[in-house]
Amino acid sequence: MSDEFKSKIQNLKSKIPNAIAIDGPAASGKTTIGRMLADYLNCLFLDTGSMYRATTLAALQNSVPIDDEPAVTTLTEQLDMDIIPVQNENDGRLYTVWLNGRDVTWELRAPAVDRHVSQVSAYKGVRQNLVQRQRSMAQRGRVVMVGRDIGTVVLPDAPVKLYIVASAEERARRRMLERRQRGLDVDHDQILADIIRRDRIDSSREHSPMRPAADALIIDTTGRSPEAVLREILALPAFQPAQARP
């Protein structure tokens, strides 16, 4: 990122809204964009998807049947969970997730978690518990919150709402590269099938389905660099000086 662009971002810090809601499907780029935006605007970054992943991981590790909604809900209520900024880690992570006293950041990306997280996140009790936690975390200060129902459910009054999308093929390619960089065996067709399946589950679930808020700006990241997307976001009226607004 150029020094000139960084300077412009620094000048915007005093003008940013208290809450920025970013939603979108898996691997659309919303987490990368959200983390960049939070970093350069000096906001708290909260990836709510990692909380559903942590819940899923806890269920798998504790042999709680994924199909047992009451048991998964009870487990969720008992979890000690937090998301904090990167400290001294240098492994490519965007944040650190603590679960019951353990750093589980990379464990959340295990294929088994991928397969079950949409089912877990569809449970009403799980969502109610985690939404409460997310709203409490948002009280820590100005926040960029990323997920699938932030603009519609978690922070419906957020003054800036973005819905980040990309083609299924593009998202499968990104997920495949991510796993290869971590030394994992990958199968493109399986990853693509999983992404399409997750889209279907997330958008059709009964409680808090994934969809753009009525006042959200939809941004397609297919074939675009994160910096280009960030420039588009920072050009929005909400980030401009009051005297420059029409």
What CATH number is given to the structural domain containing 144?
Answer: 3.40.50.300
Structure confidence by residue, pLDDT tens digits, 71-87 = 999 999 999 999 988 88
Average pLDDT over the chain reads: 90
pLDDT of residue 226: 96
Closest CA to 94 of 159, 128, 49: 49
Q: H or E element: which one contains 107?
A: none
Structure confidence by residue, pLDDT tens digits, 107-132 = 999 989 999 999 999 999 999 999 99
**Is the model's pLDDT at 34 over the cut of 60?**
yes
pLDDT of residue 8: 54
pLDDT of residue 2: 58
Inside any domain, residue 242 = no
Inside any domain, residue 240 = no
Inside any domain, residue 231 = no
Q: pTM, whole model, 2 decimals?
A: 0.85
Inside any domain, residue 31 = yes
Inside any domain, residue 86 = yes
CB 79 within 8 A of CB 58: yes
Per the structure, the complete domain to which residue 8 belongs is given by: 3-225
Inside any domain, residue 237 = no
By 3-state DSSP, what share of the chain in percent is helix, strand and coil, each rounded to 5? 50, 15, 35
* Residues contacting 78, CB < 8 A, separation 6+: none
The number of domains in the chain is 1
| Burial class for 171, CB neighbours closer than 10 Å (0-12, 13-18, 19+) | buried
pLDDT band at 10 (very low <50, low <70, confident <90, very high): low
**Is the model's pLDDT at 144 over the cut of 50?**
yes
Inside any domain, residue 9 = yes
Inside any domain, residue 51 = yes
